[in-house]
Structure 1
Amino acid sequence: MLGPVETRSVSPVFVGRAEELGTLHDALARAREGEPQALLIGGEAGVGKTRLVEEFAAAARRRGAVVALGGCVEIGADGLPFAPFSTALRALRRELPGELTAAAAGQEEELARLLPELGESRAGRHDEDGMARLFELTARLLERVAAEHTVVLALEDLHWADASTRHLLSYLFRTLRTGRLVVLATYRSDDIHRRHPLRPLLAELDRLRTIRRLELARFSRDEVGRQVAGILAQEPEPDRVDAIFERSDGNAFFVEELAVAAHGGCRTGLTDSLRDLLLVRVEGLPEAAQQVARIVAEGGSTVEYRLLSAVARLAEDDLIEALRSAVNASILAPAPGGDGYRFRHSLVREAVSDDLLPGERSRLNRRYAEALETDPALVPADQRATRLASYWYHAHDAAKALPAVLEASVEARRRHAYSEQLRLLERAMELWDAAPDAVRRTLRPVDHAEVYPPCGCDPASTPLRYLDLLAEAAVAGRLCGERERALKITKRALRLLDDEDDPLRTAWFWIQRSRLVQRLARGDGWKEIATAQDLVRGLPPSEVHAEVLATAAHWSMLREPGPEALTAAERAVEYARMVGADEIESNARLTLGGLMVEAGQIEAGLAHMYDVRDQVVAQGLAVVVGRSHVNLPSTLEGIGRSEESVEILREGLRLTSRMGLTESEGWAWGNLAESLISLGRWDEAAEAAVSAQRQGHTAAPYGAGANSLAFLALARGQVPEAARHLAEARASYGPHDPMPQHDLPISCLTVAVAAAEGRLTDARAELARALEAGFPLGTQRYAWPLLLQAATAEADARALPAARDGREQVLDGIFGTVKRLTTHAPVWFAHEQWVRAELHRAEGRSTPDTWSEVVAAFESLARPYDLARVRYRLAESLLTRGGEDERERATELLRLSHTVARHLGARPLAEAATVLGRRARLPLTPPAEPRPGPADPAEALGLTSRERDVLRLVAAGHTNRRIAQELFISPKTASVHVSNILGKLGVSGRGEAAAVAHRLGLFPAEMLMPGPAG
């Protein structure tokens, strides 16, 4: 509105900072090569951080980069949630509208929490993953936009940043891996006192090698001379430079102020207080301009023109004239990229604000609040609620402030700004008693709370209670990571509820405590869940009742699966369905399905889980989408259906990545590693395990990845490496909350590593601990490998004299456990056969018949490493018998076992097969001239006619679906046939099977020509 205004206090010459500017240009060059850059620029107030950023931004634009600037907004000492990111993304959208729209495609509802212009954000239940999901989607958005354009994202005044902004910036600095992107942030180092909230973030970022820190020093005397010369447009007198340098101590902003003051003949520039100098310059303005400056100082770091006009209550011509005076005096400046004004330097604003009288400050805040209430369009929509709440709060009007603060807390929650929501709710608690009863009675949970324990009443007609604020605050604290504060809030709520007959609300708070106790590693949370169950027992169905049951069932599924857990899950599904709690029902059905599978109701349980998966994907229910694509494939892997598991996990990784479900993505990688190990795709499994460790932001996915890496290292003969990964896994899970799915694999690996290192006593001790703890129903998938490892260790050590003592007791313990474990799934039955065979070997009564049954059990499973191991044992047993027919069969078995072991890199097994072959004088490679075989080589491989047809199509490169179409069978049946073929050929994949078929000439070339498309 004012047009360009000369700011003569700013030097047109950029002085100094050559080294810092060079670092920034180097970062830009690296970013242009596709290597994201992160920088922090610190320095005291007035040292020149903003000028450095401006110079760099101008240079970056000249080099073709897109620059998006955003600043932290301070309003009455309150920070606006995500303000710098919202501003920067808005600028990015103006510069690259098509690219940003394309990058946000499919996730507009989530990203609208940062950039409302993208659409309406989705309402619904909030969870621990909500903020992480938003952060991940923001990182992906920036990476996609920066894939083709060099982007500089500059965030200023981080010392004013709200907690959510700090968390998002930390996330970006830690996770950005691709894109032509420079992210830099500035902060005042002199403001970062010992308890400043930015201090922990700076300490955390200091540990990241990918971040460069620049600390701007004050100017030297020569640099001050050049700065003054630029301001005055002439060479200054040396004594004047000396005086200015002495008083400013090299602070660039104070150099400007002193130079202008001295040039204007103002000797106050040499007074004892530089702050007085700033105020003297303001006091030199006309009265109307001084009034406007005071109004702007209390309105926040930037004030929109229309809002300023409403608060100033001046005629428009008088307002413009006052603004022109303040801008010409370099007190105010037009806000970049908007129709508003700010102080040219925050030090001046702070000096003017500090000079306001207490009554004057509250009066100005009231006028801001009244203007904003009259016309909400005066400020951007995403700032409206927070600013109104701040203005009314600082106006000291509890009647107006309480509803405004509550409304702002709902807005913060909608944006996943849980830290700001918690702060606002604590402010509402502070205002609660001061607000009149008449005001409190008008507040409704449905308007001012998104989390309120349903208590059988209509929230639209029930007044908001103080306990509702505590409920909101407890959840906000849990979601933002302030769990100690949240725990104290639940304690306060439960103490208040001691005097009330409100079992549902009380049970709800106990469930919150359970989650907090688990997250804080204070225990397993069962005592709190049991208390909640007692409170709701016998009450009519409600959402709280359903949630209590679902929580109890899920807890039991992970720690004590059995009939009681199954019953709780069934009731949770029933109650959730009755009260229309869709998300609780979906989660409870996933739990129920998993428990049913573990109890032997395999197909019925899987049907539940598949149905939930399809429903939540169609509904876009993000949290349950993640869990369904973790639990379902894990359950499939547990019953030996690894190929199905991999297929779902691949789709799950695509969905979790697209939806920003980082924790679920970490779990999916961990589960994928486990399934790929089963299928003999070990190199892929190792990559997946590393991805689980990198992607998972909690300990469990990291531990799962470490488990897989430990298994692979052990199977490949790298025992020290296996021990290292085992230690990582054990440390990840910790001792506070034992779960079979964590503890039993750890025990299995502990036994295996101890046996590999010759520490049989330690292996036996670990087994004894596991047997003493027991194997509840539903833990057989973890129990069978542990028992197998222990039995194998005893059998391998049979010839050692030192192993004889205690062996009988160990074997009896294993055998007694075997009799109690279920074998509903083929993979469990195969493991039972294997464990029994190893027990017989440990007792010295192993026979080929026993091992033949084990081999037959594994030949129908797609587990090539396991099949190679039992084939080796069968060959060993056949050679002990010593007949010619046995030698011939043992030769083929050893060859198959040796081939698979070499392919997988399983060095111990390959070496064992080689040694056994040498001892028995058996060739492990076929002779150059193969002996005449049957007319159809497929018969020698033991293939049925149907398997022969399937192998022909595999060799032609067809998928299971295409094979099913060609042979008029289901894809599932085709998958089973393929698994059987891989087992009989002793290969680990379809490509190897095709290679065997080609090498043996099973099919003429014309038989492999692709048929018509199905």
Structure 2
Amino acid sequence: MQIRSVSPVFVGRDKESAALDRALREADDGTPQAVLIGGEAGVGKTRLLEEALARAARDTGALTVVGACVEAGADGLPFAPVSTLLRGLHRRFGDELTQAAAGFGDELARLLPELGEPTALPAPAGTEEGRGRLFELTARLLETLAGTRTLVLAIEDLHWSDRSTRELLSYLFRSLPRGRVLLLMTYRSDDIHRRHPLRPFLAELDRLRTVRRIELERFTVDEVRRQLAGIHGSEPRARVVEQVYARSDGNAFFVEELAGCLKGDEPPGMISDSVRDLLLVRVEALPETVQRVIRIAARGGSRVEHALLRAVVPGDEDELIEALRTAVGANLLRVDEDDSYRFRHALVREAVIDDLLPGERSRLSRRYAEALEADPALVCADERPARLAGFWYQANDPVKALPATLRAADAARGRHAYAEQLRMLDRVLELWDSVPAEIRTAQRPARDVESYPLCDCVDETLAHLDLLAEITLTARLAGEPERGLSVARRALRIIVEPEHPLRAAWFWSQTSRLLRHLARGTGWEELKRAQALLAGFDPSPTHAHVLTEAATWGVLFDAGPDALETARQAVDLARAMGNEEAELHALVSLGGLMTETGAGEEGIAVMRAAAERVQAGHHVNVFTRSHVNLQSVLETVGRSRESLEVGEEALKLTDRWRLRQTAVWLHRNRGDALYSLGRWDDAATAGRTAAADAASPVNRALSAEFVAQVALARGEYEVAEAEIAVMTEQYNAYDRSVQHAHPAARCKLLLAAARGRILDARELFAAAVAAGLAPGAGSYTWPLVHAAAVAEADAAGVSAAAPGRAEAIGLIRTYAAGLRRHYPVWQAHAELVEAELRRAEGTVRAADWAAVIAALEGLERPYLLAQARAHGAETLLADGDREGAGALLIQAYEAARALGAAPLMRGVELLAQRARLPLAPAAGPGTAGRDDRGLTRRERDVLALVAAGRSNRQIAQELFISPKTASVHVSHILAKLEVSGRGEAAALAHRLGLLTEERVTPAR
């Protein structure tokens, strides 16, 4: 009887296969999907994956490509599975892929060298923006290729993935809004210990609605029986099934191994209980020449090329091929389409390596390293540096390993793989003391690292400092500020400041930035020390770097005259050093500071000129600040229409340069301008677009904060609460700048006030004041102060004698007195705040509100104007002026209806009812006399989908909101319509004519 070691029959997994088929159908319909398949080693993840890929190709015509993570990924081999996938796509698509990458091939070549030579990274060495752009270009490439057919991309062994691969995958999961793409990934769940780097990655993905997780269980007794029957070709005896099941415990791979030990139809004989011995049974049954090849292949990595194996295995090539043929025939090795070999199961490879003697391991690693040094073409160019570094390291040869590891770090940097670069540099630090001093000094690691000072005179101490400098910067880029701070402080303990002031100043500036990232202060003392160290020395790139950092610090924390002067000096120094990007960064800071301190026209002109230079010179790394900041500054001084124009132009550039995360900021800023102008439906669309594309924590927080802002103004408090929770969770702990802190505090304060929690509102404002942040411009701090004043005034109408009110009002008034009022919109806010405080005190007059209304009528701020008119009407009624009050109430009501500001509408309606004044809102086209039951525009959008029979999940997908938010909207609709179910709601909506308006579909 012929016995196969792999069953030709696919056993069980019905539920899991159905889940994969559902994901494929949804991907085929245009919604990207991802499925993570977890399970212990040998449980059958690969077989399930192979069957799913075969069905996808057979049933839907999908194009399937497989990549695998390799153990070398932990040693700094970045993006290995992604590069393999892209190579597979390149083989299938050919010119079509090259055409899809046209214009960006030099960037994508970092992942797919077949597209050409990657563009050399400019100094400074690497940026977050360059990494983000690489991720965006990859997403766009897949989106383009998936336009005509479904792509099923599979990655095996995710537990071995490098961090850069995980971050890229996370980006893809979040930023592919449409596209026929299905990502399938497998990982060993038994390897995911508490501190395994994959654990937080899995936890993050569990929150995404387009990501599913499948956990494979072991086989049952019946499934073991069916597996044995498939392997043997006949039904096994019950005693055999029982013993195999008992020995394998239902693990599919162990069942196969035990099946190979069967003699006829008898139970397995005497086999050691050791798992390693079980896995080596079939290896040891082969001829010694084959075993030797298997041992050498195991030491070459989880995948080893034929050419590399040929260079390492002694003897004739015919003998090697025959040995490999035998190993493949025994189902120990399998051949990949790129002429490489991998073990059919990693457990066997691990057992083979474990069986090697320590001397054997290092000797084999040396042979691999020597072969690769003699002929670098034996492996792919993008993998060569990391693999060579790994071989020399495993060969226990520090003299060879140190330079090889430095080259691997450089290669990782060239691919924006900063986590792997950091791992390589840490290994260099580990090897440092094991290498002679003359070799250490010859291997200088720092390469013009962000204006770090280098000189021709090198000694051992300086070489060590150069290494620490590169580790410090790389740790920051890799998102490990704690590690960067530790290394920077280590360097500062080594440096003798009078001898090396430039190096010391550089490390102090990095320490400042890292302390801010870790929320351990503002970092000003460290920056001040850096500047003091540079006093009296000739200008240098380090001077320009430190001053540019100080100018940026001023924008965030203290936009005063000192910061303005620092920014001017930074511009001059950067210009003198010929560093155009540093100059442009400094100009952006200078323009913002000039605007903040009152020179708005001049400051905006400086920023516009910088933005034009950025666009003309394709300075992508500066673009993420130049246009976003100009857009924001225009909005904050009240020039909202100009802000929209800048945003529209900038969005064209983000599309051209493939910067989707920068587009998130632009859409968020567009939302602010649209909100100010009273175009709330358009603002909500901008907010949803930003939320749909947001991939980073800060971008998700920014989007959630804006959605909460609109929801609060429209009275959708459950929606606001859910978004505020997202905002609070996603904001990075280090982000303490006023542009984030004050809007976040305002949202929380408004929600507390709306829920009647005035004490909580006071505490939130007091905490914002106590934080000691320098006040921001009009769109950051004035709205927070206004919200606090409104909360006190509204609470005064409920309870005339609330304890602590006088102190709270005093704190608001004192804080407001210190805010700038350079522009009409800021001055209007100041008058509005004072009027609200007088309303809280019961001393406000009609003249106060008249002045506020006059100030706001000259600005395009319809919501603030409607609020002022409503309060002005209240004071006029108290003075007996019913005619004047009635006119203001009608204007306020019309504006509130147009905006969908439900709380303001209700307030005006109650005031009009008490005063017995008529309200005559202007009816829009086709809506005269329509009873909309107080539904907001967003709720009418949701109602239209409810009437069309959509589920909450489908509504969420259509409107780019979460299912929870959709559920909240539906609950509000049912309550406002006073119906008990969705069917009744749809019927009533038709009867009232609520579905006749064309529903606005969000931009995708």
Under a length normalisation based on structure 2, what TM-score does the superposition of the two structures give? 0.81
Aligned-partner SS, 2:539: coil
Partner of 2:380 in structure 1?
Answer: 380
In the alignment, residue 317 of structure 2 is paired with which amino acid?
E
2:643 aligned residue (630, 642, 645): 645
Q: Relative to 1, partners in 2 of residues 1:837 and 1:539: Cα closer, same or farther, differing over 3 Å? A: same
Distance (whole Å) between structure 2 residues aligned to residue 773 and residue 212 of structure 1: 41
Q: Does 1:14 find its partner at 2:14?
A: no
Compare 911-920 and 67-76 and name the one that shifted more.
911-920
In the alignment, residue 84 of structure 1 is paired with which amino acid?
P
In the alignment, residue 48 of structure 1 is paired with which amino acid?
G
Q: Is the 8 A contact 1:132 1:660 kept in 2?
A: no
TM-superposed deviation, 1:789: 5.3
Aligned-partner SS, 1:862: coil
Aligned-partner SS, 1:534: helix
1:57 aligned residue (36, 53, 60): 53
Q: Is the 8 A contact 1:797 1:803 kept in 2?
A: no
Aligned-partner SS, 1:183: strand
Distance (whole Å) between structure 1 residues aligned to residue 436 and residue 459 of structure 2: 19
Q: Relative to 1, partners in 2 of residues 1:747 and 1:367: Cα closer, same or farther, differing over 3 Å? A: closer
Partner of 1:967 in structure 2?
Answer: none
Aligned 1:395-434 pairs, distance under 5 A: 395-434=395-434
Q: Does 1:93 find its partner at 2:102?
A: no
Aligned-partner SS, 2:434: coil
Q: Is the 8 A contact 2:515 2:522 kept in 1?
A: yes
Distance (whole Å) between structure 2 residues aligned to residue 129 and residue 569 of structure 1: 22
Deviations along 1:860-887, whole A, 9 cap, x unmatched? 422223344445566667778879xx95
Compare 538-547 and 771-780 and name the one that shifted more.
771-780
Distance (whole Å) between structure 2 residues aligned to residue 585 and residue 303 of structure 1: 48
Q: Does 1:299 find its partner at 2:300?
A: yes
Deviations along 1:92-151, whole A, 9 cap, x unmatched? 222233554454444434433222223333413323454444334433433333233111
Aligned-partner SS, 2:860: coil
In the alignment, residue 127 of structure 2 is paired with which amino acid?
D
Q: Relative to 1, partners in 2 of residues 1:847 and 1:674: Cα closer, same or farther, differing over 3 Å? A: same
TM-superposed deviation, 1:380: 0.8
Partner of 1:589 in structure 2?
Answer: 587
Under a length normalisation based on structure 1, what TM-score does the superposition of the two structures give? 0.80
Compare 529-538 and 741-750 and name the one that shifted more.
741-750
Q: Relative to 1, partners in 2 of residues 1:801 and 1:548: Cα closer, same or farther, differing over 3 Å? A: same
Partner of 1:825 in structure 2?
Answer: 823
Q: Does 1:527 find its partner at 2:522?
A: no
Deviations along 1:716-769, whole A, 9 cap, x unmatched? 455676677667767766997654434544666677667667777877777777
> Which runs of 5 or more residues in structure 2 are unaligned?
924-1004
In the alignment, residue 116 of structure 1 is paired with which amino acid?
P
In the alignment, residue 486 of structure 2 is paired with which amino acid?
K
Compare 142-151 and 661-670 and name the one that shifted more.
661-670
Partner of 1:617 in structure 2?
Answer: 615
Q: Relative to 1, partners in 2 of residues 1:218 and 1:925: Cα closer, same or farther, differing over 3 Å? A: closer
Distance (whole Å) between structure 1 residues aligned to residue 719 and residue 325 of structure 2: 71
Q: Does 1:904 find its partner at 2:899?
A: yes
Compare 495-504 and 308-317 and name the one that shifted more.
495-504
TM-superposed deviation, 1:709: 4.5
Aligned 1:322-337 pairs, distance under 5 A: 322-334=323-335, 336-337=336-337
Aligned 1:180-219 pairs, distance under 5 A: 180-206=180-206, 208=208, 210-219=210-219
In the alignment, residue 86 of structure 2 is paired with which amino acid?
L
Aligned 1:780-819 pairs, distance under 5 A: 782-785=780-783, 802=800
Q: Is the 8 A contact 1:76 1:394 kept in 2?
A: no
TM-superposed deviation, 1:618: 3.3
Q: Relative to 1, partners in 2 of residues 1:450 and 1:369: Cα closer, same or farther, differing over 3 Å? A: farther
Deviations along 1:456-479, whole A, 9 cap, x unmatched? 525999998122222222222222
Q: Does 1:34 find its partner at 2:35?
A: no
Q: Is the 8 A contact 1:37 1:183 kept in 2?
A: yes
Q: Is the 8 A contact 1:598 1:777 kept in 2?
A: no
Aligned-partner SS, 2:315: coil
Partner of 2:358 in structure 1?
Answer: 358
Distance (whole Å) between structure 2 residues aligned to residue 296 and residue 514 of structure 1: 49
Aligned 1:540-939 pairs, distance under 5 A: 540-656=538-654, 659=657, 661=659, 663-692=661-690, 695-696=693-694, 701-702=699-700, 704-705=702-703, 707-717=705-715, 738-745=736-743, 779=777, 782-785=780-783, 802=800, 822-832=820-830, 834=832, 846=845, 854-871=852-869, 887=883, 894-910=889-905, 924-925=919-920
Compare 898-907 and 755-764 and name the one that shifted more.
755-764
Q: What percent identity do the matched residue pairs reach?
A: 53
Partner of 2:983 in structure 1?
Answer: none
In the alignment, residue 550 of structure 2 is paired with which amino acid?
A
Name which structure has the greater RCO, CA cutoff 8 Å, separation 6+.
2
Aligned-partner SS, 1:510: helix
Q: Is the 8 A contact 2:237 2:265 kept in 1?
A: no
Partner of 2:80 in structure 1?
Answer: 83
Partner of 2:68 in structure 1?
Answer: 71
Distance (whole Å) between structure 2 residues aligned to residue 485 and residue 438 of structure 1: 28
Distance (whole Å) between structure 2 residues aligned to residue 839 and residue 827 of structure 1: 18
Q: Is the 8 A contact 2:518 2:734 kept in 1?
A: no
Q: Relative to 1, partners in 2 of residues 1:590 and 1:219: Cα closer, same or farther, differing over 3 Å? A: same
Partner of 1:316 in structure 2?
Answer: 317
TM-superposed deviation, 1:275: 3.3
Distance (whole Å) between structure 2 residues aligned to residue 289 and residue 773 of structure 1: 70
TM-superposed deviation, 1:588: 1.3
Compare 553-562 and 286-295 and name the one that shifted more.
286-295
Distance (whole Å) between structure 1 residues aligned to residue 289 and residue 381 of structure 2: 30
In the alignment, residue 513 of structure 1 is paired with which amino acid?
T
Partner of 1:370 in structure 2?
Answer: 370
Aligned-partner SS, 2:522: coil
Q: Is the 8 A contact 2:893 2:921 kept in 1?
A: no
Q: Relative to 1, partners in 2 of residues 1:234 and 1:509: Cα closer, same or farther, differing over 3 Å? A: same
Distance (whole Å) between structure 1 residues aligned to residue 636 and residue 817 of structure 2: 20
Q: Is the 8 A contact 2:592 2:629 kept in 1?
A: yes
Larger C-alpha radius of gyration, 1 or 2?
1
TM-superposed deviation, 1:510: 2.2
Q: Does 1:142 find its partner at 2:142?
A: yes
In the alignment, residue 423 of structure 1 is paired with which amino acid?
R
Aligned-partner SS, 2:348: helix
Q: Is the 8 A contact 1:871 1:893 kept in 2?
A: yes
Q: Is the 8 A contact 1:590 1:628 kept in 2?
A: yes
TM-superposed deviation, 1:156: 0.9
TM-superposed deviation, 1:698: 5.6
In the alignment, residue 626 of structure 2 is paired with which amino acid?
S
Aligned-partner SS, 2:382: helix
Aligned-partner SS, 1:120: coil
Q: Relative to 1, partners in 2 of residues 1:257 and 1:782: Cα closer, same or farther, differing over 3 Å? A: closer
TM-superposed deviation, 1:561: 1.2
Compare 30-39 and 763-772 and name the one that shifted more.
763-772
Partner of 1:44 in structure 2?
Answer: 40
Distance (whole Å) between structure 1 residues aligned to residue 353 and residue 473 of structure 2: 36
Partner of 1:497 in structure 2?
Answer: 495
Q: Is the 8 A contact 1:662 1:697 kept in 2?
A: no
TM-superposed deviation, 1:562: 0.3
Deviations along 1:451-505, whole A, 9 cap, x unmatched? 3753252599999812222222222222223333222222222222258722222
Aligned 1:441-480 pairs, distance under 5 A: 441-445=441-445, 449=447, 451=449, 454-455=452-453, 457-458=455-456, 465-480=463-478
Deviations along 1:1-32, whole A, 9 cap, x unmatched? xxxxx994333333333333333223222322
In the alignment, residue 362 of structure 2 is paired with which amino acid?
S
Partner of 2:117 in structure 1?
Answer: 120
Distance (whole Å) between structure 2 residues aligned to residue 171 and residue 926 of structure 1: 47
Partner of 1:980 in structure 2?
Answer: none
Q: Relative to 1, partners in 2 of residues 1:147 and 1:538: Cα closer, same or farther, differing over 3 Å? A: same
Distance (whole Å) between structure 2 residues aligned to residue 427 and residue 805 of structure 1: 62
Aligned-partner SS, 1:14: coil
> Which runs of 5 or more residues in structure 1 are unaligned?
1-5, 929-1014
Distance (whole Å) between structure 1 residues aligned to residue 455 and residue 435 of structure 2: 24
Deviations along 1:256-294, whole A, 9 cap, x unmatched? 334344459999963214533544533444443333222
Q: Is the 8 A contact 1:443 1:463 kept in 2?
A: no
Q: CA RMSD in A?
A: 4.0
Q: Is the 8 A contact 1:740 1:779 kept in 2?
A: no
